[in-house]
Every structure is written in C-alpha cells, then in structure tokens.
Chains A and B, each alone.
Chain A
Amino acid sequence: MIRYYYYHVFYVGMINIMVLVPFVLINHRFGGAVSSFPLAIVCGTLYSYITSACFQRFPGLGLPEIYRLFMPVWIANILNIIGVVTWASAGIIVLFSYSNTIGIFFDPEASAYLNLAIMALASLWAATRSSRSVQFTHEVLLIVCTPIIIWILLKALFSPWLNWDAIRLVATGGIRQPPSAICFFAATFVFSGHLNITLFNRLNPRDLKFRFRWMIPIVGTFFLLVSFFVPIGLHGTQAVGDYLYVWSVTTDTLMMKYGFIQRVLYLFLLLYTFLSLLFVMNTWHTGMEFFKACFKKYPPATDEVNVPRINWWICLTLTCLTFAYAYFTNDLVNKLAAEIWLVMRFFVETALVVLMLLFVFMQKKGLQRKQALQRQGGD
C-alpha cells in the first residue's frame, strides 16, 4: 500500500515542468536560484517526514475528517475551502499550460479551445470517479509513463551536446548569491507530492508503515537538478532565458534516429499528456472531495460504485472555470498565476504542517471534540 504514497511523490517531481518551475528558476539563474536549492531540499524533506508521521496517527482519515475532530465546523469549512482553491487552481493552471504547449508544438492550426476541451473532458470524467478508482488510474498511468520519461531525461543528461561549462558556470556562480525567496518556493514544489496524502490517507490501512522515506530527498533532488540544469547545458547560459516552455524546446534538441518518429519532442508531449491528465485528475478530485466535506450530506466515501451527482456538478464548474481562465488569460498572465500559485502553495503547505503538529499534540492531550466521529481505517 505504501507504493501509492510514493506514486504521488514521483509524479509531482516530474510534473514540475508543467507548472513552469524550471522557467521560474531559470529566470533567476544568475540570482539566487542555485543557492535556494539546498534550503528547498531540506525544507521539502522535512515537511514530507512531518506530514507522513502525523497522518500515520490518523489512519483512514482524510484532512477534512481530522479538522472535524479538533475544530468547530465553521473553521473546518474555511480550511476546506482554502484546500479547494489551492488544489483546483493548480489543475486549472496545468490544464492551460498543457493545452498551450500542445497548441504550439502539436497542432498550431487548431483552435486552442479544442485541445483544452478534449483534455478537460478527460480530466472531468477521471476526477469524478471514486477515490479508489482515481488511485488505481494513477498507478496505471504512472507505470506507463515513468520509465520513458526517465529515459528521455537521461538521454538529455548524457547528450554529447550538453555543455558542462555552462552548467558549471551557473552552479558555481549561483551558489555564491544570496538565496531568492521565489526560487525557494518554486523549488520546494518538487517535494510537495506528500501533500496528496491529505485526501488519500482515507485509503490507508491502520497498520501502514512509512518505509523508504529516504527516497524522497533523492528522487526530489534528482528531478530538481535535472529540470534546472539540463536546459542550461543544452541551450547555454544566455539563450535559455528566451524560452517559456523550456523543456519542450530542450527535448526537441534530442533525436531518435531509429525511432518511429525522429523528434523526441512528440514522445515527450505525449507522456506529459498523461502526466497532466494525472495531475488534473488528482487535484480536481482532491478539491472536489474537500468541497463535499463541507456538507453533512456527503460523508467521506472512497469506494462508491455509482458516484453521487454532485461530483459531476463540481467538476463541471471547474471545467467551466478553466475555459473562463483560458479566455481571459494569455501566456504572460499564466506565468504570473503560476508564480503566485507556487508561493501560495508553499504557505498552505507550511500551514498544514503546523496544523498537523498541533493536531497530534491535541490528540496526545485528549482534546478531541467528538470521539464518535472517529471511524475505522480505510479498507
């Protein structure tokens, strides 16, 4: 069962390309990007350890149920809504970035809304499923994507055109700069896969042990360094700043001479179609469940065969919001929105860690509100 936890850690490490993390970091490559990496690695690892340790004390309970244990309903609902906004907006930003990338590289002549519509419908359907289905879909898609994505990353890393002097220049020059806050926020994103435990802890059994947690810093650091340094090595220290979708351009510098299609870019975009779908599915599903948790009418359920109708309405609203967002924004605004979201996410993450520590403390002191509400573990 523990593997489901690490699936989240892995795919959030890989999806960072779609929420423009490399773009934000590369913009500050001569500023404090590199020096904020060690801080981000320490901070991200620490947060992952704390949340997993805390949630272990509440087996089978999602974050909304834990709120209810210790807090009055109105505070719990406010916190739930903050969760809804954080998660759902992430899905919207990724969906927009993704459909834009596809519009640029796959099919420049098609309407931007067509790509968005196809993807949004798929996400809509996937996100409305029960939590258990979402988890299984997650596993299947990730197992399909991960080996090939790692292969592309390694192919880029070992490309003969990679200029190590450029990487060395940025690394040794940047580490001497004072760390920058926005880069720190952006870099911690790579480690924030642990956040998804807030909902999916509902599925965790009572006796779950969080083993192999030493993998988190290793995997996160790998994805962070690769997604920052490889574009610099392939595009040079100066020209790399000219690209918004920097990784799409980076994979275009690779060739599969004997492949079915020569441009690695198309394979890469196909894989990131899966990953984006995964991300939007997870975020919208989490947002949806948080929203439902505000009402007594919808008790937490993980294995419904027929999902309640409210699921469709919530996700349909999110789809409409995505279209509204796509209508009113462009690449520049999306860039800004992504940066704002990255910062907001960090503060939400910090608040969550503090709250969880508080809850564990209160549990030890026996300060729970309603003992009756505590239900049995996930399965």
Chain B
Amino acid sequence: MSARRLLSCVAGITALVIGGSLLGGCQLKDIDKRYFVVTTGFDYSDNPAKPYRVTLRLALPSSKVEEGGAMSIVQTADAPSIAEAVRHLKATVDKELEFGHCREFIFGRALIDKDGFYNSMQWLARRRDIQSVSNLMIGEPDALSVASLKPKSERYPGNSLFLSFGNEGTESAYTVTTYLFDLYRRMYETGLDPALPIASILKDAYQIDRAALLDKNKARLYLTPEETLLFNMTAFGTNNTIVTLPHEPLNVVLAVTQTNARIDLTKGKDPVAILKVRVEGFLEQSPPHLLEQNWDGLERKMGKHFSEEVEQLLIKIRDAGVDPYGFGLHYLADRHNAKGSWELWTKQLYPHIRFDVRTDVSIQGSGLIR
C-alpha cells in the first residue's frame, strides 16, 4: 500500500467519524432524559371544547427491583384531540415522553359509549413507537382511575397490568386479550367485529373478568363474567378454562387444558351457523364416583349443557347486531366475495341465523390422586 493510498484512507475514516458524530450527537436523547410511559388512558371529559382527557402513567426508574418498589407518577391533560393532549402533557413533565414500552391503553367507559374508539385508534395506529402487540381495554368507571392504581405487587411500574393479559403472567379464562393490530383489523374488516376486555378496580388489584362487544365504533353489548368465559373459549380458543355442569349436591367442574373452536356455515340459501368446540381436561370437582358410573354419559351431558349455554350467548350476540366470531367473514369467503353477498348477509341472513353448537367434551381422568 503506497503512502498516498494510506493517507487517503486515514483522511476518509477521519471524515467519516467526524461527520458521523456531528450528525448523531444532536439527535439522540439519553435514557436518563426520557420518561417511560407505562400506561395510557383515554377519557371523555364532559367539556365540549376539550373532550379528550389523556392520562399517562410515567415510570420513575429505580435502582432496585423488588415487589412494591415500583414508583410512578400520573399526569393528566384535556384537549380537543389525543395528539394535542399528549403534546400538552409534554409541557408538564421535565423529560421526553417515550411510548416504546407502553403496552397498556385504556379507553374510559364514557369515551366508548359517547365518542367510540375510532378517533382514538387513528392516533394509536399512526404512532410508530407504539407496539402492535399492545393490550387494549375499557376502563371502568374511567381510564383515569384504572391508570392511577398502583398495585403493591408490582416489581416495576406497570407490569401488573400487562401480566394480566395473554399468557404472560396469570392465565385467566375470564380475561379477553385484544391487541392493537387485532382491534385495528376488526375495526375495518367486513364481517368481523371487535371485542375489548373491561378492567376495573377491586381493592388493590385490577379485575379484568368482563368483555364488551363492539360494532365498528361503540359498545353494543357488555357481557357478564360467565358469558365472557364462554365467549373467550369459543371465540379465541383460550386454554386453561373450566366447563361446569350443575349437579346435586355439588357442581361438576371440568378443568380444561385444551380448547379448540371452529366456525362453519352450512351451504345453501339459508345457512346455519355451526360452532364446533372440542374441550379436553380432567375433573377438578365432582361428587364421588360420578365419572366411574357413566363416563360417556357425563361427557355427553356436559357437552350438551355447554352447547345450550353457548347457543344462548350466540343468540344474544346476534340480536345485538355484532359478529365477533367472524361468521360474516366466513360467509364471504364461502361465497368468494361475490357482489351483493355482504348486503344479503347483513340485511337478511345474519339477523335471523340459527346456530348449531356441537361440543365434544373429552374427560381425560377423574382428577383423583388417591
């Protein structure tokens, strides 16, 4: 390598380093100059000039990680829109807001009932630092109170709420999990409507055991915890649930380890909606010797009871005019998206559709250990 070549190499690298540091230096903010948002709440403030109330729960970093050691502060601002409220909130804190770790977004119940979630979603879907796998929920009585709760069990701020969803922490059969991308898909999809879990406060913890079924903007139906369980099993195939059969003197309870649910429609002009459910599990509670007397009979009885309950729920959902199971999408796929089939489905077929729930219960064992 000649001296001249070497010199040009050195000059080039120096220019690169200087240029790079000049370009980079003014744009990156250090981590200690950022506030990590852990929970965001959207509420409806009854002020027509500033209808949106945004609540941010901001984590205060701490050097030690231990139960109850999580520190956070809550900030609130009202504004004509969510984006403006967030900008306004920046004026009340001393560090840059960072949404990259925020995985909980709470819509206040009043917001869902009065304004709907459509406008809020327009902001959520555009923020590139917000993860598509964020959990969305409805807050009761409002998002502010849910976001302000600081449970004692938290190891670091905000982790209590997101451990409640999916199968990351607790695996509750009553908790419906809706991700941001899923809500966005269901917001626009023909024949598939959204569902959101409802989070409320019980003493020092979150209670997430109900769900709301929505049309493309507002809530149409609030389910009870028992209905939520059935819905969660049949619409999302949630595992680790229970199937019960009323019985004297003690209810029979099947602890379900495996759930499969599949929808189908019969062919022809007047289709019947079929929901095939298969559950597997073992008995967690039962009067003695019930299973041994008639194993097949008990399976069939439990399946029949479950089917009847689910059918009641499906009719209730149908009458509310929503379709969270995606029967409509299935119908369109069956009809190859032919012209006019969507109008036919929503106007004539779905409001009067009959349901056929086929449950196949398979009991693996009596659950007895001695």
Residues on A close to B: CB < 8 A? 30, 104-105, 107-111, 113-114, 117-118, 121, 160-161, 163, 165-166, 168-170, 172-173, 176, 234-239, 242, 249, 252-255, 257, 262-263
Contact = CB atoms under 8 A, between A and B. Distances in A.
B242 interface: no
Contact of A235 (B23, B185, B237): B185
A308 to B, nearest CB: 13
Contacts of B24: 110, 114
A235 B181 contact: yes
A109 B27 contact: yes
B190 A237 contact: yes
A255 B189 contact: no
Contacts of A237: 189-190, 329
A113 B24 CA distance: 11
A239 B131 contact: no
B247 interface: no
Contacts of A111: 23, 27
Contacts of B28: 107, 109-110
Given A163-B185, A239-B184, A255-B133, 8 more contacts: A105-B128, A108-B128, A173-B336, A173-B338, A235-B185, A249-B181, A254-B133, A262-B133
Contact of B184 (A107, A168, A173, A235): A235
Given A108-B128, A166-B329, A172-B333, A236 B29 contact: no
A114 B26 CA distance: 12
Given A239-B185, A255-B133, A263-B131, A161 B329 contact: no
A151 to B, nearest CB: 18
B168 A238 contact: no
B329 A163 contact: yes
B182 interface: yes
Interface string B307-337: 0000000000000000000100110110011
A163 B181 contact: no
Contacts of A254: 133
A108 B132 contact: no
B336 A239 contact: no
Contacts of B132: 249, 252-253
B186 interface: yes
B179 A161 contact: yes
B72 to A, nearest CB: 20
20 contacts: A30-B337, A108-B128, A108-B129, A109-B27, A111-B23, A114-B20, A165-B192, A169-B329, A169-B337, A172-B333, A173-B337, A236-B185, A236-B189, A237-B329, A238-B185, A238-B188, A239-B187, A253-B133, A253-B179, A263-B131
B128 A114 contact: no
Contacts of A109: 27-29
A253 B179 CA distance: 9
Contact of A252 (B181, B237, B338): B181
A253 B330 CA distance: 23
Contact of B186 (A121, A169, A176, A236): A236
Nearest to B27: A110
A160 B260 CA distance: 12
B73 interface: no
Contacts of B187: 239
A75 to B, nearest CB: 38
Contact of A169 (B27, B29, B129, B333): B333
Interface in B1-28: 16, 19-20, 23-24, 27-28
Interface in B170-222: 179, 181-182, 184-190, 192
A281 to B, nearest CB: 19
Contacts of A234: 181, 185
Given A117-B23, A169-B329, A257-B168, A238 B128 contact: no
A168 B65 CA distance: 48
B73 to A, nearest CB: 24
A119 to B, nearest CB: 13
B138 to A, nearest CB: 20
Given A114-B24, A172-B336, A234-B181, A252 B133 contact: yes
Nearest to A161: B182
Nearest to A257: B168
Contacts of B20: 114, 118
Contacts of A165: 192, 326, 329-330, 332-333
Contacts of A113: 23
A239 B187 CA distance: 8
A157 B159 CA distance: 29
A209 to B, nearest CB: 41
Given A163-B329, A253-B132, A253-B181, A238 B189 contact: yes
Contacts of B338: 173
Interface string B36-79: 00000000000000000000000000000000000000000000
A237 to B, nearest CB: 6
A263 B28 CA distance: 21
Q: Which of B16, B185, B187 has the most CB of A within 10 A?
A: B185
A113 B20 CA distance: 11
Contacts of A121: 16
A236 B179 contact: no
A237 B186 CA distance: 10
Name, among A104, A252, A257, the residue most crowded by chain B CB atoms within 10 Å (CB to CB).
Answer: A252
Closest 6 CB pairs of A and B: A173-B337, A236-B185, A238-B188, A169-B333, A168-B333, A236-B189
Contacts of B188: 236, 238-239, 242
A161 B332 CA distance: 19
A173 B149 CA distance: 49
Interface string B322-358: 0000100110110011100000000000000000000
